[in-house]
Structure 1
């Protein structure tokens, strides 16, 4: 049921919001040098690496690192707005459509975040698709505390249901969580 929902909702989202993703990508390109859509390797289900797509919110020369390890000065002015409204996540609808991600699940991390990957593997978190949003994000927990994040992710995996996923989606849309925080 979850995969059917993910496929149908992401397809509908891309059909309805594809124009918005395109317009925002053009604004991102005009705001700062570089591509409008950013592609980055992330760790997915069963530890497989996939390419995750987002609207670029940081300057082009920013090193590929977890958000909490990236200085706030790396985020563009438009990027701050996109992040606050969570619009930078819209291109991930493509990842959901392809089956690499789900709407709800643990946020996918970078392959370089080995401690988080180990903690998630130990707790069985890598058995599920990563999500655009999840319990940890709604609670405001980012990837700076890998053990705590893996514990929250494991609780989600153990108790997940279609209804709880819908509630998390609604909480996210209603402004739950603060998004990926950067280093001050």
Structure 2
């Protein structure tokens, strides 16, 4: 399934060379592995509860949802989530494009009719993202980095937009803790490039702490 986009323009590759941080990336990869294993062990009861809830809502529907995404250097992979939408959600997407609330190459809709009852809760609390710990173990993703786009979104990327995929994509990142849905696609790209240029272990930890603060605030609001 894995495919790689080798059509990165020279300017994109030059950008990567000028912002390579091999020591940082190796140290952070070790952190990712250790933290992902711990997170999977601790969150196992949560996995069980959510799995039961999804099955009670629709016994025949799968618990997990896997979706092809584009990662580092244009390499595709399957990203895992708890299923929060109806089984035919992908087929309905084309009909809803006119109601997209994001400009640029992303789709966001506040009252998306494709989301299930359980899905609304696990999305509100971000619990639907927990299976991405598996992607981190596999090396497809990191805890911190630019969000991986859909293949359909990536198809419309300019070479400038592709710069945001010169590092491993993450579960959370600078743009998620800087306004999220209130930001335009262009602003998201700029924040991702800012992260790539300034990324450090300390900065990554800061983003994780900000994400955790947001996660706990969501939980308190249930």
Per-residue CA shift, 1:2-29, capped at 9, x if unaligned? 0000000001111221232133122112
Which one of the candidate residues 8, 15, 22 is aligned to 2:48? 22
Of the structure 1 ranges 83-92 and 32-41, higher mean CA displacement relative to structure 2 is found in 32-41
1:35 aligns with 2:62: yes
Counterpart residue number, 2:140: 100
Asked whether the equivalents of residues 116 and 147 of structure 1 are also in contact (C-alpha less than 8 Å), the reply is no
Question: Which ranges in structure 1 are unaligned for 5 or more consecutive residues?
Answer: 180-184
Tell me how far 1:146 sits from its aligned partner.
2.8
Bigger radius of gyration, 1 or 2? 2
TM-score after normalising by structure 1: 0.85
159-168 or 18-27: bigger deviation: 18-27
- Give the TM-score taking structure 2 as reference length: 0.72
Runs of 4+ in 1 over 4 A off after TM superposition: 64-67
Distance in 2 of aligned mates of 1:39 and 1:102: 17
Q: Output the aligned Cα RMSD.
A: 2.4
How many residue pairs get aligned? The number is 176
Any unmatched runs of 5+ in structure 2? 1-26, 94-105
Query: Residue 79 of structure 1 aligns with which residue?
Result: 119
1:126-171 alpha-carbon deviations (Å, 9 max, x no partner): 1111100011111233498332221111111111111111111111
Query: Residue 194 of structure 2 corresponds to which residue in structure 1?
Result: 155
Alpha carbons of 1:72 and 1:9: their partners in 2 closer, same or farther (altered >3 Å)?
same
The whole-number CA distance in structure 1 between the counterparts of 2:191 and 2:156 is 15
